[in-house]
Amino acid sequence: MKVTENFTKTISAFSPFILLLILMLGCGQLSKPTRKESPDFQILVSDLEKEANANSETPFAKYKNKTVAVKGRVEAKMDMSVILVSPENVRFPVQCFFDPADRESFQQIQQGREYTLIGIFTDGDKRAAPTLSNCKVR
């Protein structure tokens, strides 16, 4: 019984700190980066591919959560997303997701044409294709 009382007192003493830690970690996950009107980086799909081939670890770490303008040819258009590729090499795709608020921008895209899309660089390493979220046509 004594051990249970000591454990309960210890937990009670630390519960405000635990609650604060949970709130701090949770709030950080709720805030997501927003797309800026002016990109932090402008790059061609072919240049992203060169960076991926040159850096075996984390080729796109500098772009993570930044506003990036990517130029490429639309290889495929799906429901509120497109696949951009380099005109020279279709084996290296960049997937761009559009928010419903940018539906008008998405609707003007035609498969086979080149576009510069601006969005938040959210993913991409040696195992996964680079991904942009919150995209729009620039």
117 and 72 in a common domain: yes
Assign residue 79 the CATH number of its domain: 2.40.50.140
CB-based burial, 81-112: b 16+ in 10 Å, e otherwise: bbbbbbeeeeebbbbbbbeeebeebbeebeee
pLDDT in tens, 43-52: 999 999 998 8
pLDDT in tens, 80-126: 999 999 988 888 999 999 999 999 999 999 999 999 999 999 876 66
Domain of 58? 41-137
pLDDT in tens, 42-76: 999 999 999 888 886 778 889 999 999 999 999 99
**Structural domain tally of the chain?**
2
> Element (H or E) spanning 46, and its range?
helix 45-54
122 and 62 in a common domain: yes
Spatial neighbors of 27 by CB under 8 A, at least 6 apart, are none
pTM: 0.74
96 and 48 in a common domain: yes
Residue 36 lies in a domain: no
Residue 6 lies in a domain: yes
Question: What's the longest Cα–Cα distance across the chain?
Answer: 74
